[in-house]
Structure formats: structure tokens, C-alpha cells
Amino acid sequence: MSLTHVLTPIKVGPVELRNRVVRPAHGTRLAYHSFDDLAEYHALRAEGGVGLSILEIMGVHPTTPLSVNAYNPAHAEGYRRMMGRLKPQGMKVFQQLWHGGHHTMPADGSPPWSASDEPGPVIGVVPVAMTKMMIDEIVGAFADAARKCEEWGLDGVEVHAAHGYLLHQFFSPNTNKREDDYGGSFENRARFTMEVLAAIRASVSKSMAVCVRIAPDDTEAGAGIEDNARLLDMMQSAGLIDLIDVSFGNKQTYPKMDRWHA
Ligand SMILES: Cc1cc2nc3c(=O)[nH]c(=O)nc-3n(C[C@H](O)[C@H](O)[C@H](O)COP(=O)(O)O)c2cc1C
């Protein structure tokens, strides 16, 4: 079998990949122990010739803490060191930006944030239905995180709008019961994600790639393939994305909750 196309360069917006071997984000959680271990893990893939690695989910706000968090100054230092190790290898590196919504507990133990006050199946805690002020705060947090990623030397960011996390909780009628400008119609359910992408575009330079990961719901009455295709059209027409990463499913239907991972 010929690998003519796989092993030739391709551009993702402003970023040229040396080939089309792309590793999607997967949570290693190595940074809980050591950023140097995380750097070494990715450096081995870079040395093996990978074109693009998308780094695992990064919490953008203290309401959704994880092993890597954009707002933690100690993690900033870890990222700078990691990019110093990865940059010379020629592999491009994007960072996935994430808010878990009703699947994660805020660092201070207060209730999770979501579109509506219905608990998710992972932690089962009743979340706060976000106010407009909270929505604006999270839009700003995504933009700040993207700007930091550029400062730390990453080549792009991917907004995690899939798998039943916060942005998906707003987009899916299954989890969004709002009656304001962020609920009901397709445009309203899409508004939060569109605002996040627009804020990111405005906060990074033209040399950063901006990507999105989406996933059609496989739940009855959820946001299916048609809704997602329409969302992508809207993002593309507005010039907000350089790459579409299509996944499938969400936490609402994940069959093995006891083995939950990101
Ligand atoms: C351990 C593990 C962690 C994952 N973490 C993430 C993640 O941080 N972000 C994400 O969007 N997907 C995550 N995924 C999903 C993967 O990106 C990918 O879509 C999935 O493994 C299917 O890969 P395939 O399309 O090569 O079969 C994770 C998957 C696994 C197995």
C-alpha cells in the first residue's frame, strides 16, 4: 500500500505539518507526577516522525481542574520546558482546551457549572445553571488559555466541543433546558461555542491554528449529525476554524462509567 499522501506535508490554516500522521488528544495525566515525564512521552512520538500531536485536555478555569490547567503558573513553567524539548523535533503541537461542565467538580468544592441544573451521569452532582456573567467568564478563560498556549510556544489550539462536556452540554437539547439566548433554537444552543471560538481567534496571532472537536450525539433527541454539520458550516463561514476533528458520542451514553476517562 502506498503512503504517498500520508507522508507528505499538509497545511492546517497557517501551520505546515511535515506529514499527515496526527495523534488526537488523549489524557495521560502524567503531569500529575511530572511535566518532564509528559514532555518525554511526547518527545518519543516526535522522534518517531509524527506530524502533529494534540495534547490532552487542559482545564481553562478553576471550575474544571485537571492534570494540566491554563491558569496555574506552575503549569506555565512546565509547558515552557516541554515546548523547549519538543520544538526542535519538528512535530507540531496543538493544545486541546476544555471545560468539563457537570462532569467535574470545581477546585473549591462548589457545585459544577453547566447549561442547566441537571446532574451528569459521571459525578451525579446537581450543577449550577450558568448565568450570563459565568458564560462570559468562561469565554474569557478559553481566550486567555489560547493566548498562553501561544506564549508557551504551541502551534495551535483545539476547542473541545464534543463528548458531552460543557460546550456540548449547551449544544445538545438533552442537557440544555434554558429559555434565554443560550437555549432553545439551534442558533441559541450554538452561541456559547461560537463565542468561545471568536474570542480565541481575537486573542491569538494569525500564526496559530484554531481547531474544534465535535461529536454528534448518539442519544435520542440530542444534537445529531445534521445539527453538527450546520454548526461546522457556521464556524467555517465565520472564518473561525482551521481544522475539524470529528469524534463520536458523549458521556451520557458511555457504557462503562466506572472506568471513566477523559
Ligand atoms: C485514555 C484515553 C484518553 C483520552 N483523552 C481524550 C482527551 O483528552 N480529549 C479527547 O478529545 N479525546 C480523548 N480520548 C479519545 C481519543 O482522542 C480518540 O478519539 C479515541 O481514542 C478513538 O481513537 P481512534 O479514532 O484512533 O479509534 C481519549 C481516549 C483514551 C483511550
User: Is the CB of residue 247 below 6 angstroms from any atom belonging to ligand 1?
Assistant: yes
Protein residue whose Cα sits closest to atom 6 of ligand 1: 26
- Kindly indicate the confidence band of residue 8, based on its pLDDT and cuts at 50, 70 and 90: very high
- Written as one letter, the residue type at 143 is A
Q: What is the pLDDT of residue 256?
A: 47
Q: Any catalytic annotation for residue 79?
A: no
- Fill in the DSSP letter of residue 33: T
User: Could you read off the pLDDT of 47-69 as tens digits, one per residue?
Assistant: 999 999 999 999 999 999 999 99
Domain edges within the chain: 18-253
Whether the pLDDT of residue 260 is over 60: the answer is: no
User: Is the CB of residue 57 below 6 angstroms from any atom belonging to ligand 1?
Assistant: yes
Residue 235: its H or E element: helix 225-237
pTM: 0.95
- What would the CATH number be for the domain defined by 18-253? 3.20.20.70
**Which residue from 73, 94, 193, 203 is spatially nearest to 138, judged by alpha carbons?**
193
Instruction: Please state, in angstroms and rounded to a whole number, the distance separating the CA atoms of residues 186 and 227.
Output: 8
Burial class (CB in 10 A: 0-12, 13-18, 19+), 56: buried
User: Could you read off the pLDDT of 26-43 as tens digits, one per residue?
Assistant: 999 999 999 999 999 999
Residue to mutate, 20, 21, 22, 26, ligand 1, most ligand atoms under 8 Å from C-beta: 26
User: Is the CB of residue 168 below 6 angstroms from any atom belonging to ligand 1?
Assistant: no
User: Could you read off the pLDDT of 73-105 as tens digits, one per residue?
Assistant: 999 999 999 999 999 999 999 999 999 999 999
Cα of 179 to ligand 1 centre, how many Å? 33
User: Edge-to-edge strand order for the sheet containing 22-23?
Assistant: 22-23, 52-59, 92-98, 156-160, 209-214, 243-246
Q: C-alpha angle with apex 217: 211 to 223, nearest 5 degrees?
A: 85
Instruction: Please state, in angstroms and rounded to a whole number, the distance separating the CA atoms of residues 162 and 184.
Output: 19
User: Could you read off the pLDDT of 194-203 as tens digits, one per residue?
Assistant: 999 999 999 9
